[in-house]
Structure 1
Amino acid sequence: MEGSVVELAIAQAGPAKPEEDVPSSSPAATPAPIPAQLTSEELVAKAIAPVKKEFLCPPPTRNDADTELPPQTAALIKEKKSKRQLKRERRQESKSALHLCPVVAKSGEVASCVYGEKCRYSHDLVAFKDQKPADLEGNCPFNGESRCPYGLACRFAGTHLADGIAFGTQNSDQRKTSEVNGLNKDVQKLLWKNKMKFPKADATLKLLGLTDKTKKLLDREDDQAVANKSCAIEENEGCIAGGTCASEHLEEDTKPENGDVPEELRPVKKAKPSTDESSRAIEVNNGAYIKEADIEESSTISDSGGGTLADNDVVESDESLKIHPRERKLIDFRDKLYLAPLTTVGNLPFRRVCKVLGADVTCGEMAMCTNLLQGQASEWALLRRHSSENFFGVQICGAYPDTVSKTVELIEKECSVDFIDINMGCPIDIVVNKGAGSALLTKPLRMKSVIQAASGTVDTPITVKVRTGYFEGRNRVDSIIEDVESWGATAVTIHGRTRQQRYSKLADWEYVYKCIQKAPDSLQVLGNGDVFSYVDWNKHKSDCPKLSSCMIARGALIKPWIFTEIKEQRHWDISSSERLDILKDYARFGLQHWGSDSKGVETTRHFLLEWLSYTYRYVPVGLLDVVPQRINWRPPSYYGRDDLETLMASDSAADWIRISEMLLGKVPAGFTFSPKHKSNAYDRAENG
């Protein structure tokens, strides 16, 4: 954008001088109170950022009129619309001339659309040009790289060279070469019709004995183990709701008085194959052959697989068997800067920004297995990977071994990923109520079966992310950490909070260290929680040398340059202009990812605003009495060293929108925004 637009927006924020009244860009919400008599140490004890006094805003004076929201802020409150209203708006939008056919927009010719009059888009080029919003300032994000895929619909069409439609010398779409992991249309149709085949997953589930009947058995065993109050280990808070001793509990506690165990509660036994054709050989790992008679003696194929052969089961190929751990692809997280999978904000443009600033490992947003298996395009979009992400993984979330194993098989076949992470720590109600995420922490046997099924289905390394436990005060991960590797996981990330705790209180790193000490040396264990500076990184690495690495989540949302700080071992007193340059990069990456037409611009704006709902919590190093800033500090209302820094410190959605207008032009009429997530959730315990 031109400097005049930025200067105009900053000028509207008012001068950043302490002796003047609070500018219009000051926070609309109540800031953290700063009594003048408190020292920096006392402020830190109260989790209030100790901003230098010369930068603090005077406390606002309130009267009866202050109880009402300002008109500008009130207009930004997002109204909840019914599904019927949303459907009506989409129908009206589809009839608009602005709903131009993408093929016609790209070519500039009505005849280029093969559907003709049957096309559900508009073909009226004259009406579209009359109603199209004015072009945005700046160059098309595809300029000089490729043919713009949006043609006339591009909001930067004035910078195109050939009749306002295309430019550049390349014939291919740059997005197709820089982004991968798109969902193939033929595969999507098979998923829609539920006709997709999963031979590897089916073979693994059969090998492990994880049928529908055993799925119900696992649920019953887990529930009974949790309800079992006679467990001496449970009384000492050492058993994970039945934990690794769940099978022993069930073998004793579920027996009737007469000693007969019901058939449905009996553990799956190792059945011997038929010996009628004992001379037949079965091919196993890498072309090696063994005789069925040899299988009969041991009744198992592989210890590492944990599976058995049922009667008359014949292994058709080596793909149906879990390979030896030493034959798996190697993956190393040690000392690498890992950007956590972040819901909503951890999209591809944000990950590109973090890669530029020094992140080594990136991971896509959490995707639900059931949605992926249904072929939902919006869910598959979470798996997209940019060419700059040289160490990339995807995170999935599922409740049962069959859905997870089928999902990982599909991902390995259709996508390019370095690892697949299984989320077993998500605290969101809608996920937990389906038995996924943190709910698996209460069901250790199902947790085991999910990891075994996933790792036995694919060669891609499987990692796991967990919280310390489900209920606050009852940490459980230390009870299973020794077994996770034998189940098939390559690495485990432990978030130092329980599900009930959500983001209240600081992460319990002492417990994370305890789990790491119990873990086998060959299992990589990563810690997660409250890493906000290179000092935090160094402390965790020095306190626990066995710690492989730290996963950085909210710290990267608030200040993505944390990766640069860790690598350069310094506190970066970043200027407001440097922060604006980072936002400009994000806007450019967003337009390349979501599109440069009106829809793409507003999608980019939406996710930019979601990110700004976190970044305002950053307090510049030069304004602090105590360095570094801690992630749980509440920033007071303060003036920056310039007008732009003051604007960036505002927690008002109106000011976030003004920042977005510097980069993406004016918002459309009737625009509203409210952040999806509570970025200040460090002082509340929810869902519990």
Structure 2
Amino acid sequence: MAESPAELTTENPNPTQDQQQPTATPEELVAKSVAPVKPQFLRPPPSRTSQNDTTSYAVSDCNSNNSKSNNTNTISLVAKEKKSKRQLKRERQQEKKSAVSLCPELAKTGDVNSCPYKTNCRFNHDLEGFKAQKPEDLEGECPFTNGEGLRCPYGLACRFYGTHKDNDVVGNGKKRNSEINGLNKDVQKLLWKNKMKFPKADSVLKSLGLMGPGKSKVKKVDEEEVEKVDDDNVSHGTNENGCGDGGNESAGKLDCAVGVLAEDDVDGVLKTDEVRPLKKAKSAVEENGCIVEEVNGLSIPEKNIENGCPIETEPEAIAENVETDGSLKSHPREKMLIDFRGKLYLAPLTTVGNLPFRRVCKALGADVTCGEMAMCTNLLQGQASEWALMRRHSSEDLFGVQICGSYPDTVTRTAELIDQECTVDFIDINMGCPIDIVVNKGAGSSLLTKPMRMKSIIEAASGTVEKPITVKVRTAYFEGKNRIDSLIADIGNWGASAITIHGRSRQQRYSKLADWDYIFQCVKKAPDTLQVLGNGDVFSYVDWNKHKSDCPELSSCMIARGALIKPWIFTEIKEQRHWDISSGERLNILKDYVRCGLEHWGSDTKGVETTRHFLLEWLSYTCRYVPVGLLDVIPQRLNWRPPSYYGRDDLETLMASDSAADWIRISEMLLGRVPDGFTFSPKHKSNAYDRAENG
């Protein structure tokens, strides 16, 4: 295990003579893909039981006899226990009834009678018990009351409660929020019940001959089941997002009652049906004794209203009206376009590419941001955790969302739903994700073997929404069988506004270097109306300049893993310099991330620990950065493996550690001591960090 910060020294960072290994020239190290760190900073690798044992670390209290202080934690390697989904759900429900989870209404007001759900509330109402077990407040000020006189929405549960002032403005008790694209509760209920209508998508699918009978079956639900779902929702006390957990991004918790969904098809992928039940979706609002029907918010024409009661309009009739609307069939060239030329594009990154991370990159110079890849089937089912990936911050002035699906109907209906419910600038369709669970369902890179399905998806999606449709692909599915060059002209004619090409095949995953020569071949074959962006191994302004100079027709470069390891790469490109960033400046970037995380996930204990979790995930990438001042050859290349080295100060040495124990220590510097029994297992291990990007 790596040394603690107190044990590190920079006065004499050189290892002893017997510890030094035979020196190699910088050229020899580069040839072996090893970062050429200056010899005076090198040190032997820390001793470990196993070099690859970075799976999970648990933290427990130390005995005072075995530690320097009572507040010291000991970190040991343990095997993470696997739990079933049912067991995890049961534990979450039990936790909500424990003293740890105080009712949000009670936390805001401090009045035990303020909760409208009373005994039906799924949260705890024991105020004294909550105060007895609440951890100590963290250092710093509450992110929601910071100098603005607003009231924190988490009240007593806030970990900065001591900084709250009595004269804070109530502000309706709502969180100060600069985020949009939350999932509407009424829309979520329609999705749960499979009652959502997609007139535009169905019209386009029908016109393209992609909507035929018998593609999938839908389980019919009677009125009693629907009423039961509504009753369960009320008893759970859902919030404004339709979920008690607030739809936290990547949290993966959907505890609210879910309606009966469509049956899975034989491939395990939910295909939204074309033959929908004849029963009409009805709202709970009654006017003049008549139940008013809404079809996804489409207003009913005045000519259909008689005596204060609207006449029922068949969805088929609405679809016919939509189909005859010529505006929906505009030529792709007439669509609103986005100019990606010369813009710094932050790639959609799974797990770490959350909204707080995008805010940090935006502040460091990113021009275009895109949300994490969201599965179409999950969005159509109304999963709050998946819809949280649609969230957009006000600082993201050019923002898109990325969706992934297997069939034209699911992708097209998802595009229409996003166009209706969210504010985005473009919709990106992922056709390059190499992950097995995605590919096995016919999505992601699997589509590269099915060009006709690619055509159907792009044509249907671009014909349904006015927003630009972009596509992200790899060079091919199998190594040595590149095929995008033969499809790129057609992709432009199918309706895509831009395409991003990752210079690797699916079989190659992230091994070897990206093939930029092939990307340039594709650029030269692309039609003038299709913007082409390259992706792969951009890690400095030198890489950026080289790709742009080698192929002036290239619109831009998408930056993925380079931003994970050093998010200030956007600053380097704009200022055309190698930034020898200090450890203090890097710590300030982490502080900004923590502040954004607390604003996004919350300042209560749950929000703090969620922020810590994603901070630790990010630190599993940043440890691969080697400071410019320590290198014999600059700039650092993305495929270089950093050796074990000392930094120029203790903090820089700590940030270079690939031990999860040291990542936890950094998190404690920013978010206080971890809870007793804390465990962390990096989703993408540091020695396999290249799987972070969606593809």
Normalised by the length of structure 1, the TM-score is 0.79
Give the CA deviation at 1:17. Answer: 4.5
Q: Is residue 2:111 matched to residue 1:109?
A: yes
Closer/same/farther in 2, CA of residues 460 and 125 from structure 1, 3 Å limit: same
For 1:397, the equivalent position in structure 2 comes to 404
CA distance in 1 between counterparts of 2:110 and 2:12 reads 55
* Aligned counterparts, 1:508-527, within 5 A: 508-527=515-534
Identical counterparts, % of pairs: 75
For 2:63, the equivalent position in structure 1 comes to none
Give the CA deviation at 1:101. Answer: 0.4
| 1:311-342 deviation digits (Å, cap 9, x = unpaired) | x9887531684212233112110000000000
Give the CA deviation at 1:116. Answer: 1.1
Closer/same/farther in 2, CA of residues 683 and 442 from structure 1, 3 Å limit: same
CA distance in 1 between counterparts of 2:527 and 2:51 reads 59
For 1:121, the equivalent position in structure 2 comes to 123
For 2:288, the equivalent position in structure 1 comes to none
Q: Is residue 2:605 matched to residue 1:598?
A: yes
* Aligned counterparts, 1:93-108, within 5 A: 93-108=95-110
Which has the larger share of helix?
Answer: 1
Closer/same/farther in 2, CA of residues 636 and 168 from structure 1, 3 Å limit: farther
Give the CA deviation at 1:74. Answer: 3.5
Whether the 8 Å CA contact 1:503–1:682 is kept in 2: the answer is no
Whether the 8 Å CA contact 1:103–1:112 is kept in 2: the answer is yes
Closer/same/farther in 2, CA of residues 683 and 190 from structure 1, 3 Å limit: closer
Whether the 8 Å CA contact 1:17–1:639 is kept in 2: the answer is no
CA distance in 1 between counterparts of 2:52 and 2:379 reads 47
> What is the SS of the residue equivalent to 1:526?
strand
Whether the 8 Å CA contact 1:432–1:438 is kept in 2: the answer is yes
Whether the 8 Å CA contact 1:346–1:364 is kept in 2: the answer is yes
CA distance in 1 between counterparts of 2:418 and 2:51 reads 54
Give the CA deviation at 1:424. Answer: 0.2
For 1:50, the equivalent position in structure 2 comes to 36
Give the CA deviation at 1:92. Answer: 3.1
Give the CA deviation at 1:15. Answer: 2.0
Counterpart amino acid of residue 114 in structure 1: P
Closer/same/farther in 2, CA of residues 76 and 659 from structure 1, 3 Å limit: farther
Whether the 8 Å CA contact 2:458–2:494 is kept in 1: the answer is yes
Q: Which has the larger Rg?
A: 1
For 2:8, the equivalent position in structure 1 comes to 14
CA distance in 2 between counterparts of 1:114 and 1:167 reads 24
CA distance in 2 between counterparts of 1:65 and 1:196 reads 52
For 1:617, the equivalent position in structure 2 comes to 624
Whether the 8 Å CA contact 1:337–1:361 is kept in 2: the answer is yes
Give the CA deviation at 1:121. Answer: 1.0
Whether the 8 Å CA contact 2:503–2:536 is kept in 1: the answer is yes
Give the CA deviation at 1:674. Answer: 1.6
For 1:243, the equivalent position in structure 2 comes to none
* Aligned counterparts, 1:265-276, within 5 A: none
Counterpart amino acid of residue 120 in structure 1: R
* Aligned counterparts, 1:350-499, within 5 A: 350-499=357-506
Task: Identify which of 314, 327, 334 aligns with 2:334.
Answer: 327
Task: Identify which of 157, 162, 165 aligns with 1:161.
Answer: 165
Moved more, 348-357 or 74-83: 74-83
Whether the 8 Å CA contact 2:203–2:323 is kept in 1: the answer is no
Give the CA deviation at 1:87. Answer: 3.4
CA distance in 1 between counterparts of 2:129 and 2:88 reads 25
| 1:352-401 deviation digits (Å, cap 9, x = unpaired) | 00000000000000000000000000000000000000000000000100
CA distance in 1 between counterparts of 2:677 and 2:124 reads 24
* Aligned counterparts, 1:301-320, within 5 A: 316-318=323-325
CA distance in 2 between counterparts of 1:556 and 1:368 reads 23
The count of corresponding residues between Structure 1 and Structure 2 is 569
CA distance in 1 between counterparts of 2:143 and 2:320 reads 57
Q: Displaced runs of 4+ in structure 1, greater than 4 A?
A: 17-22, 59-62, 64-73, 168-172, 213-216, 312-316
Give the CA deviation at 1:84. Answer: 4.4
> What is the SS of the residue equivalent to 2:506?
coil
CA distance in 1 between counterparts of 2:131 and 2:690 reads 51
Counterpart amino acid of residue 183 in structure 1: L
Whether the 8 Å CA contact 2:612–2:667 is kept in 1: the answer is yes
CA distance in 2 between counterparts of 1:560 and 1:353 reads 8
Q: Is residue 2:626 matched to residue 1:648?
A: no
Closer/same/farther in 2, CA of residues 503 and 321 from structure 1, 3 Å limit: same
* Aligned counterparts, 1:508-587, within 5 A: 508-587=515-594
For 1:228, the equivalent position in structure 2 comes to none
> What is the SS of the residue equivalent to 1:485?
helix
Normalised by the length of structure 2, the TM-score is 0.78
CA distance in 2 between counterparts of 1:152 and 1:57 reads 48
For 2:284, the equivalent position in structure 1 comes to none
> What is the SS of the residue equivalent to 2:23?
coil
For 1:297, the equivalent position in structure 2 comes to none
Give the CA deviation at 1:681. Answer: 3.5
Closer/same/farther in 2, CA of residues 631 and 580 from structure 1, 3 Å limit: same
Closer/same/farther in 2, CA of residues 683 and 124 from structure 1, 3 Å limit: closer
Closer/same/farther in 2, CA of residues 128 and 509 from structure 1, 3 Å limit: same
> What is the SS of the residue equivalent to 2:624?
coil
CA distance in 1 between counterparts of 2:619 and 2:31 reads 27
CA distance in 2 between counterparts of 1:502 and 1:363 reads 21
Whether the 8 Å CA contact 1:18–1:56 is kept in 2: the answer is no
Give the CA deviation at 1:77. Answer: 4.8
Whether the 8 Å CA contact 1:16–1:646 is kept in 2: the answer is no
> What is the SS of the residue equivalent to 2:466?
coil
Give the CA deviation at 1:12. Answer: 3.2
